[in-house]
Amino acid sequence: MLDTATGSGARRSHPGREIGSGDEASGKGAPIAKIRFPTYEFLALFLPIALLILVVGFSFAWLRTEARVEQLLDADASRLQLISGFIGAEVSGSLHHLHYLADNSVLRNTIERGDAQSLRNLEKVFENVVELNPNYRQVRWIDERGMERVRVDSDGVDVHRVADEDLQDKSDRYYFSEASALLPGELYASPIDLNVEQGQPEWPARAMLRIATPVVDSRRNSRGILIINIGMQHLFDVLHWRGPTTERGEFLLLNQFGVQLNPVAAGNSSADQGPGVPFGDSHPRLWENVSNRDHGSFEAWDGLWTWSRLSPLASLRQSYGDAANAAERIVVNHFTVVLLAHRPVEVLIEMRRDVRMLVSLGVILGIAVYGIALFLYLSGHVRLRYAELSAAHAVSRAAHLAKTKELEQRFHRLVEASSIGQLLIDADGQIEIANPAAERMLGYEPGDLNGESVDRLVPRALRDRHAGLRRQFLKAPVARRMGEGRELAATRKDGSTIAVEIGLNPYSDAGRQLVLVSIIDRSQSAS
């Protein structure tokens, strides 16, 4: 039995590939050394410059963004100053009206007499003043007990006197007690708050500023106060006019206690706020900053806020003429308002996104141009080095091919000259090379065994078992010398069998598992 075991991956068309390994066996010579792109050198040159471009680019983006924010802040601050001047001018005229009413002879006559006719005359004076000033909501004389004696109301269109039975007791109102404590000729300005009627805030809410002065009779006895209620709706109109919706901003008016006075448009970020709601409840950190500083800005979760604490009556004292004289007589001044300009967070996001997108494109373009230029520069060096190695390889390959051809010829001469039969078997059990000694021993013509299965040389009854043994041997191939006690037989071409000794020498050629089989005819040795 011919007992062989072989590997895998046979190539029957090239019997000389058992010499050497790799490209040396194929006659290609040593392969060209692989020229790698100088990645570390590229990174060492690219990263510092790229980082510098990033730092410079995004620093510019930050500065540009801050400049845009400053422009918004300056624009909002300018609007707030304009609104403050407008408020001051409006209140200045109201102080003159109050002074006129306090010195009016009709008022003095009504205080002295107190009859029905004098009260009607005073009502007419009040009606004339209200008709000429549509922002006045009430003009009243409240006596020393806190009872309204004469009251004229207006809704901005219609003016009417309040009937005697509808006059109210205002003795518990803060403005009555504070204004009554003043000396004749002194003026009082209240905080802006929401008007209250019959103990309940009016709805829809109306923000009011009250200016008042005490009145006395001819004996200098206190006879109560004269008071004008000024509606602040015109201020809200100014706020909306100064902050159109196209600018995606809004203005809020707060009193000094942080109570929101004006409504906001639906859809704005502060739309959940409304008149009478403490602003600090929804924006505690912002209100803390507003309370501590008269002017400033603050970027909160819902956008950018700018504020200015305004005291229009205090600013009148720094002016000239009648306005300054009237303001000087204001002893109690609670008329302080906080104007807030709000830019929604969407405005900031879009603004920063636009700036950063533009700068990012510039940064990416700069980095890309530098990276491509550096890559092309280093790639040129790589191609030059590869060309030099290719030229050297061509010379080496020519010499290698000649040497390989010589080795193959020597191998074939050695195999053919050997007196021992030799077969070269691949992994599938196919015979790649059979020397003349093996062909004569087995009765084959030259070349007949090339490409035949080695199992054909095993007695027919043992062929299936031989195939299994050959596959088992491949799992752990080891060299097997001749004469190790096995009695084997080989089948000749004519079907006869001969006793043989087998030697196995497994080896690997370029990743192919091959077995060199040596065969000795024992029958001839015995004879």
Q: Is residue 249 part of a domain?
A: yes
Whether 206 and 335 share a structural domain: yes
Q: Is residue 414 part of a domain?
A: yes
**Measured between alpha carbons, how far is 251 from 342 in angstroms, rounded to an integer?**
6
**Measured between alpha carbons, how far is 447 from 432 in angstroms, rounded to an integer?**
10
Q: Is residue 413 part of a domain?
A: yes
| Closest among 485, 477, 526 to 506, alpha carbons compared | 477
Phi, then psi, of 419 in degrees rounded to 5: -85, -10
Whether 302 and 414 share a structural domain: no
Predicted confidence at residue 5, as pLDDT, reads: 39
**Measured between alpha carbons, how far is 272 from 509 in angstroms, rounded to an integer?**
84
Predicted confidence at residue 526, as pLDDT, reads: 56
Whether 19 and 72 share a structural domain: no
The two structure tokens encoding residue 120:
């009607």
| Closest among 253, 236, 235 to 342, alpha carbons compared | 253
| Closest among 423, 431, 412 to 10, alpha carbons compared | 431
B/e letters for 137-159, b = 16+ CB within 10 Å, e = fewer, are bbbbbbbbebebbbbbbbeeeeb
CB atoms within 10 A of CB 504: 20
Whether 335 and 235 share a structural domain: yes
Phi, then psi, of 356 in degrees rounded to 5: -70, -35
Q: Is residue 374 part of a domain?
A: no
Predicted confidence at residue 20, as pLDDT, reads: 38
Helical H runs in 167-305?
Answer: 174-180, 233-242, 279-282, 284-292
Q: Is residue 40 part of a domain?
A: no
Predicted confidence at residue 275, as pLDDT, reads: 61
pTM of the model: 0.51
Residues 6+ apart with CB under 8 A from 219: none
In angstroms, how far is CA 105 from the centroid of its own chain? 72
**Measured between alpha carbons, how far is 119 from 91 in angstroms, rounded to an integer?**
27
DSSP, res 203: S
Predicted confidence at residue 264, as pLDDT, reads: 57
Whether 88 and 183 share a structural domain: yes
Whether 76 and 20 share a structural domain: no
Predicted confidence at residue 525, as pLDDT, reads: 61
Taking the chain, what is the end-to-end CA distance rounded to the nearest angstrom?
20
Q: Is residue 392 part of a domain?
A: no
Whether 23 and 75 share a structural domain: no
Whether 221 and 153 share a structural domain: yes
Q: Is residue 379 part of a domain?
A: no
CATH number for the domain spanning 266: value is 3.30.450.20
Residues 6+ apart with CB under 8 A from 345: 269, 301, 302, 303, 304
Predicted confidence at residue 201, as pLDDT, reads: 59
Q: Is residue 384 part of a domain?
A: no
Place of tokens 């100014």: 238
Whether 263 and 149 share a structural domain: yes
Q: Of 332, 349, 366, which residue constitutes the final position of a domain?
A: 349
| Closest among 154, 8, 42, 3 to 465, alpha carbons compared | 3
- Domain of residue 137 covers 64-349
| Closest among 520, 523, 524 to 484, alpha carbons compared | 520
Number of domains in the chain: 2
Tell me the C-alpha to C-alpha distance, in Å, between residue 286 and each of 81, 253, 310.
20, 14, 17
Phi, then psi, of 262 in degrees rounded to 5: -110, 150
Whether 165 and 257 share a structural domain: yes
Within 13 Å of residue 201, how many CA atoms lie on the same side as its CB? 12
Whether 307 and 432 share a structural domain: no
**Measured between alpha carbons, how far is 194 from 207 in angstroms, rounded to an integer?**
4
**Measured between alpha carbons, how far is 17 from 484 in angstroms, rounded to an integer?**
30
Per-residue pLDDT in tens (0 to 9) along the chain, 527 residues: 455 433 333 333 333 333 334 444 344 444 566 678 888 888 888 899 889 888 888 888 888 877 877 777 677 667 767 776 677 777 777 888 888 888 888 998 999 888 989 999 999 999 999 998 888 999 999 999 999 999 999 988 899 999 989 999 999 998 999 999 998 888 888 887 776 666 565 666 677 888 999 999 988 899 999 999 988 777 666 666 554 443 567 778 787 778 877 665 444 444 445 566 788 888 888 888 988 888 888 888 888 888 888 766 655 555 544 444 555 566 656 677 787 878 787 777 777 777 878 888 888 898 899 899 988 888 888 888 888 888 887 888 888 888 878 877 776 777 777 778 888 888 888 888 888 888 888 889 988 888 888 888 888 888 888 888 888 887 778 877 766 656 788 888 888 888 888 888 888 877 788 888 888 888 776 55
Predicted confidence at residue 119, as pLDDT, reads: 92
Whether 344 and 420 share a structural domain: no
**Measured between alpha carbons, how far is 276 from 332 in angstroms, rounded to an integer?**
23
CB atoms within 10 A of CB 90: 18
